[in-house]
């Protein structure tokens, strides 16, 4: 059965400390913009540089991957695992302060921005890209949905990319690992005109 972009959920991970800035900016900015704002970085610095300077998206006028806001097609991504293990320079167990910002692929398309689907980790040199919804059918959904993904890390890391900016009002839910982080999210949301649902999703974490 073909995948419907209205029903395909997308997930962006960030530290809860970045949430006030995201709300103030009225959305998520690409790494090309964020790099100038001194945010709390959670990924590999060398891979972010590769995405910013080397890897391009042919179906989007050859723009660099770092010029897009990245989303995964699943929570509990391999990147979250490696961040939590301390491999990117953050403390072991740091997933407790990382949140999942959830939307849909259809909402991304509706922004009117250039967008693309990657066949796997968009920071890998051998990844392919498509700006056609039919590309959803070529993804390895068994890997994307797997909870044990050894040997399938690249396929599970397929991404949905939205150029430049993703509006805050298109975020539908914020998933947290624990109540303390959920409380911080609620504090950040206090006074915001738009407030997505906040939920504790322990099964989205390691």
Read off the pLDDT of residues 82-94 as tens digits, 9 standing for 90 and up.
999 998 889 999 9
**pLDDT at residue number 100:** 98
Q: For the beta carbon of residue 114, count every other beta carbon within 10 angstroms.
A: 17
**Residue tagged active-site, from 50, 64, 90, 159:** 159
Does residue 34 sit within a domain?
yes
Does residue 172 sit within a domain?
yes
**Residue tagged active-site, from 6, 25, 51, 90:** 51
Per-residue pLDDT for 105 more than 90?
A: yes
Q: Which of 179, 190, 6 is nearest to 99 (CA)?
A: 179
Does residue 105 sit within a domain?
yes
Does residue 42 sit within a domain?
yes
Does residue 14 sit within a domain?
yes
pTM assigned to the model: 0.94
Is 51 marked active-site? yes
Read off the pLDDT of residues 7-40 as tens digits, 9 standing for 90 and up.
999 999 999 999 999 999 999 999 888 866 655 5
pLDDT band at 45 (very low <50, low <70, confident <90, very high): low
Could you tell me if 57 and 128 are in contact, meaning their C-beta atoms sit under 8 angstroms apart?
no
Does residue 103 sit within a domain?
yes
Number of domains in the chain: 1
Q: Which of 183, 178, 174, 171 is nearest to 206 (CA)?
A: 178
Range of the domain at 142: 9-204
**pLDDT at residue number 85:** 95
Does residue 32 sit within a domain?
yes
Region 176-189: what's the mean pLDDT? Answer: 98
Per-residue pLDDT for 149 more than 60?
A: yes
Does residue 1 sit within a domain?
no
Per-residue pLDDT for 178 more than 70?
A: yes
Is 6 marked active-site? no
């Amino acid at each position: 059965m073909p995948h419907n972009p209205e029903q395909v959920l997308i997930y962006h991970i960030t530290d809860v400390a970045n949430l006030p800035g995201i709300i103030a900016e009225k959305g998520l900015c690409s790494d090309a913009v964020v790099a100038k704002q001194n945010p709390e970085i959670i990924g590999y610095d060398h891979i972010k540089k590769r995405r910013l300077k080397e890897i391009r998206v042919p179906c989007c006028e050859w723009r660099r991957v770092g010029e897009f806001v990245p989303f995964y097609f699943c929570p509990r991504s391999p990147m979250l695992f490696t961040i939590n293990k301390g491999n990117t320079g953050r403390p072991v167990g740091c997933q407790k302060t990382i949140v999942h910002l959830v939307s849909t692929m259809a909402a991304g398309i509706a922004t009117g921005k250039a967008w693309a689907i990657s066949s796997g980790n968009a920071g890998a040199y051998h990844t392919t890209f498509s700006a056609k919804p039919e590309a959803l059918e070529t993804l390895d959904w068994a890997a994307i949905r797997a909870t044990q993904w050894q040997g399938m890390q690249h396929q599970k890391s397929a991404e949905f990319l939205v150029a430049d900016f993703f509006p805050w009002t298109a975020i539908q839910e914020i998933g947290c690992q624990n109540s303390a982080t959920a409380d911080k999210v609620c504090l950040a949301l206090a006074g915001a005109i738009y407030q997505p649902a906040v939920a504790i999703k322990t099964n989205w974490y390691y």
